[in-house]
Structure 1
Amino acid sequence: MRFLLDDEQRQFARSLDAMLSAAGTPAAVRAWAAGDTGPGRAVWKRLAGAGVFALAVPEEHGGLGPLPVELAVAFVELGRHAVPGPLVETVAAAAFLDRLGDPAAAAARLPGLASGAAVASFCVLSPTAPYALDADTSDRVLVVDGDTVRLAEATGPVQPSADPARRLARPGGGPVLARGPRVTAAAAHAADVAALLTAAQALGVGRTLLDRTVAYVRARTQFGVPVGSFQAVQHRLADTLVALEFARPLVFAAALALAAGDPGSGREAAMAKVAAGEAAYAASRTALHLHGALGYTAELDLSLWIRKARALRTAWGTPAACRARVLDP
């Protein structure tokens, strides 16, 4: 089965690519990692103006959606440009509030998320995931603990991460917004949306790693010929491309399943997450190896994508957890 984007979706991807190429995202990533969110917030504002966050919010609350396929298209581009910030978590928060069944909470918070005026962090606490992403810089932090959701604040120091631009902090206490089975159901849906968009983001990260590595091995020479002419290098790059190309239809199949309200959409999202996450991680290893010693330097912009691929591999579902869900009857 082939999943082809229509002309409007392809144009949307091209417009985001052009906008982010001109935005200088590597500098914004480095500033975000150092605690200066100003450049990243400027990129965020431009994304909001392009309607990216509105895609996650229903029309009655100032949005355009929810439109999972278009969101997946956008997040591939966000991954390609390594845009910093709680992008997935903001959309997950919108998905949670939309499904919570609390009209007052939705009316109070969804318009701000749709317009990009509010940056949100969202987390479902577990023993293996006790942190909220960018909680220290977010305007709202929604924390789900069992069947309870509360509005929290970050406490304690920012924790180190494989990706320095992913700033992790433990969420503290805060007022309870809702309790009961509806919280659990809404959180499960939001986690599926987060897994899908993390997969899309990882797919974009993997494509940039591959593209930059191909460009490098074409330019780098050894024994008087381009490194890319060596068969071992070509095989490594071909394996990376195949993995990314196999992950792509899984990402969009999961987006279509979510858009249709398919009961199996959670398994589809898990399948996409493990395939795209592993493909991006493999792309990061390929990029690191084929760049040689240069690949280990933090000054090289490539490192921003290498480190992000490692972090996205386990965000919103480890490979083992995703495989277990896929195999669960």
Structure 2
Amino acid sequence: MRFALSAEQQDFAASLHDFLTGADPVGAARAWAQGRHEPGFKVLRGLAELGVPALLIDEGHGGLGASPVDLVVAFEALGYHAVPGPLVETAAVAPAVEAAGSWWPALAAGEVFATVLAPPHVPLALDADIAGLVVDLGAGTAAPAGHGEFVQSVDPVRRLFRLGTSAPATDGRAFDLGVLAVAAQLLGAGQWLLDAAVAYAKQRSQYGRLIGEYQAVKHLLADVATHLELARPLVHGAAVTLSPRDVSAAKVKAGDAAYLAARTALQVHGAIGYTAEHDLGLRLTKVRALIGAWGDGGFHRERVLTP
């Protein structure tokens, strides 16, 4: 069986990339990290017009009734462009929780954002300061959100808040949709890192030659491309089955591929990659944070190995 995206899904991905290329999501992310949300809200409103938060909400509640594969298509683009905000929680998790049903029309329209608690793997609520809804996968509840106590993340764009304690998460499908969306984000971020490294290798010279002409650099970039291409069918396949083992395998492989892409991109860029002004740094911290988000590698590897 050959799995491939439909023409409609390819067009959807293209429309997202076209919009985000002109929407300056990186500038919005930098502002978001400083607590200035309006540039990010502008990007998120545009994504709502394209139907991103409505994907998994059924048509009877104002959504599109799309599939998890469509969700993966969207989140790969969101990861590529480093879009800020609680989109995993709003577009992937909340639509799968029945207790949030009364909120679905507002979520689909982009009028409300959700945040999620799912201990022990999601103990902190992302962007609770701007979310109107907190979904607790342990308690099985959905209620108006509170700000709570701010907790610093390795990625300053991911603004985390401690809202209190909760029972361990029990809604498996909602949790796995969150994991799947994060895996797709990692895949997109890894692809951006590869593209940026390839572009820089074609511009940077050492000893009178472009570094992209050196065989060692070509091998490094080819290795990243191979790992990303191996991760992609795992992510798409997990979107079809939504089995816990497949979702965890996708998260592990996408995380490993994105981490390799981050290391290689930094190596290719050299010292400039360490500067706060360069867009590379934004993706490096994003990848580092997402690898541990919604369950770390140890947890997901254990799920893969569990019969």
Please tell me the TM-score bracket, short chain as reference: over 0.9
1:57 touches 1:94 (CA, 8 Å); kept in 2? no
Deviation per CA, 1:237-288: give whole Å up to 9, x if none: 1111111000000011011113xxxxxx121111111110111111111111
User: For residues 66 and 50 of structure 1, what CA distance do their matches in structure 2 show?
Assistant: 13
2:186 touches 2:255 (CA, 8 Å); kept in 1? yes
| Deviation for aligned residue 1:306 | 1.3
Question: What residue ranges of structure 1 are gaps of 5+ in the alignment?
Answer: 259-264
RMSD over equivalenced CA pairs, Å: 1.8
Q: Which residue of 2 aligns with 1:253?
A: 237
Distance 1:109 1:292, change over 3 A: same
Q: Which residue of 2 aligns with 1:195?
A: 179
User: For residues 66 and 105 of structure 2, what CA distance do their matches in structure 1 show?
Assistant: 13
Q: Which residue of 1 aligns with 2:58?
A: 58
Identity, % of aligned positions? 49
| Deviation for aligned residue 1:137 | 1.7
2:76 touches 2:184 (CA, 8 Å); kept in 1? yes
Q: Which residue of 2 aligns with 1:162?
A: 154
User: For residues 46 and 252 of structure 2, what CA distance do their matches in structure 1 show?
Assistant: 30
TM-score (norm 2): 0.95
User: For residues 118 and 281 of structure 1, what CA distance do their matches in structure 2 show?
Assistant: 32
Q: 1:1-329 maps to which residues of 2 (within 5 A)?
A: 2-97=2-97, 100=98, 105-106=100-101, 108-126=102-120, 129-145=122-138, 147-149=139-141, 151=143, 152-156=145-149, 158-172=150-164, 185=170, 187-258=171-242, 265-329=243-307
SS at match of 1:5: coil
| Number of corresponding residues | 306
Give, as a single letter, the amino acid of the residue that structure 2 aligns with 1:194: G
User: For residues 148 and 119 of structure 1, what CA distance do their matches in structure 2 show?
Assistant: 18
User: For residues 202 and 148 of structure 1, what CA distance do their matches in structure 2 show?
Assistant: 27
| Deviation for aligned residue 1:194 | 0.6
| Deviation for aligned residue 1:150 | 5.4
| Deviation for aligned residue 1:184 | 5.8
Question: What residue ranges of structure 2 are gaps of 5+ in the alignment?
Answer: none
User: For residues 68 and 286 of structure 2, what CA distance do their matches in structure 1 show?
Assistant: 23
Give, as a single letter, the amino acid of the residue that structure 2 aligns with 1:131: L
SS at match of 2:217: helix
1:220 touches 1:226 (CA, 8 Å); kept in 2? yes
1:91 touches 1:194 (CA, 8 Å); kept in 2? no
1:154 touches 1:172 (CA, 8 Å); kept in 2? no
User: For residues 95 and 117 of structure 1, what CA distance do their matches in structure 2 show?
Assistant: 14
1:89 touches 1:123 (CA, 8 Å); kept in 2? no
2:95 touches 2:104 (CA, 8 Å); kept in 1? no
Deviation per CA, 1:199-222: give whole Å up to 9, x if none: 111100000000011000110011
User: For residues 69 and 279 of structure 1, what CA distance do their matches in structure 2 show?
Assistant: 20
User: For residues 286 and 3 of structure 1, what CA distance do their matches in structure 2 show?
Assistant: 29
